Chains A and B, each alone.
Chain A
């Protein structure tokens, strides 16, 4: 591992390594900290926080699918007030970049959330969730609308100097158009992808297995889609990309960086192997050593087509 530089810079967000824990898959860090050393992780993206607390969807919220899972949590979260008083103090103790993911149902609400949080020193960047498939308002309604994504990016940028990352939905026909709009509107990076809309029915009762009927598909099943979306963005825009979707191990992570990601997030794998982040970091270092890569950022977009 000696001499290999794992640090990356994603649109002004400096990370000691490219491994981020994805929003909604590590809560606010306290539980997973029992299984893994958060000080070694590049960064943590907190569960989507909204202005007011959200109760979330009724059960059943999740179901397993072949090599994946569907979830319709419904952005259950403690709300911004408790986030500041109860969650940030815990996360602050760790030497890892804190990225605050924000969900909202109006443009004003996104702006208001960022305004309230922008002076929290512990927060190193904002990730704006315009792509949650499981809530009626906000979520995909914005994620599907180029103008709305542009407006949100611009307004949020106007109230903070911290890097703003827009988390894109894969449930669109041309994701690179969204990345371009983010770039034009002053956004610093995009993260892709959020979950894919899916469903699952019980053949005996003919009822949906999750109460919300549809949910977001995540896990290894979506990796090929995520890779294709990241590649599409990379080939059409020069905005930095945080790759997300189906990463289970260091090989998946390398693949994600090759198609264009500057950093990446791991989600579903945390549920199965809460120490996956650290294992990926050592795998990456070994890979770099073997392939004589001095700086991991050399991997980004290094595809040979």
Chain B
């Protein structure tokens, strides 16, 4: 965990609503792992007061990349940054995806902006792993396939790929894989993660979920980001114990 004053390098539009920013942040880049995130101060003053968390989308040498949509004030300010601006970033934060282990195929399941952490994961997966990506969105323009491999798409309105949810699509396609040999890596909206969690627990699939939560600090000191443990006994912290959890670890 480092607090690094980074340099804003570039911003590009990936589609109508999604932006990709590249930031020169050598120390964070050097220690980042796929699935981790950064907490970014988007202004120099108290408005907005809190940092904003974003998944590390990719790391390229000394640069970190982030992928985001304009959501509210914070992301609007981020979008207005100019090349050369300083950006105050805390990172890398949280646990990353567990990528070691005995599996043949990495199955990526993403909904909407949930695609964000996967370009970096794909880069870091051992070369012998097969990769297949399932990506869902409400409609064609909300299906984000940036940096993904071997993509199957699903849309709620049928405007692209399978007509239905990405988890329904996954259920159909997974018939073609031997279940002991896959590991699911997922990120997306809560209803999607919930459906996927149920499906993987029922079928004994090895599955990791990337969760979101409102956050203040992003590194474990405020206790603002709880998720209930599967046994209901305690709360885990999304920022520190996660954001990546095994499907059987948490109650969504």
Mark A residues whose CB is within 8 Å of B. Answer: 24-27, 31-32, 34-35, 47, 55-56, 58-64, 66-69, 71, 73, 76, 219-220, 248, 268, 270-275
Contact = CB atoms under 8 A, between A and B. Distances in A.
Interface of B: 1, 3, 41, 46-51, 90, 213-228, 233-235, 240
B224 A272 contact: no
A272 B52 CA distance: 10
Contacts of A56: 223, 226, 235
Contact of B220 (A24, A27, A76, A268): A27
Given A27-B221, A76-B235, A64 B48 contact: yes
B241 to A, nearest CB: 12
Contacts of A68: 49
17 contacts: A31-B240, A34-B1, A55-B235, A56-B226, A56-B235, A59-B227, A60-B213, A61-B214, A62-B216, A66-B47, A67-B46, A67-B49, A220-B46, A248-B46, A271-B216, A272-B41, A272-B51
A67 B218 CA distance: 18
Nearest to B234: A55
A61 B223 contact: yes
A251 to B, nearest CB: 13
Given A68-B49, A69-B49, 4 more contacts: A62-B215, A62-B224, A69-B216, A73-B222
Please report whether the interface of chain A is mostly helix, strand, loop or mixed according to DSSP: loop
Contacts of A64: 48-50, 216
The dominant DSSP class at the B interface is: loop
A69 B235 CA distance: 21
A71 B222 contact: yes
Given A58-B226, A73-B224, A271 B3 contact: no
Contacts of A59: 213-214, 225-227
A-B pairs, top 7 by smallest CB distance, nearest first, are A62-B224, A271-B217, A31-B220, A271-B216, A67-B46, A27-B221, A34-B1
Contact of A271 (B222, B228, B234): B222
Contacts of A268: 49, 216
Contacts of A58: 226, 228
Given A55-B234, A76-B235, A25 B221 contact: yes
B223 A76 contact: yes
Contact of B222 (A25, A34, A60, A273): A25
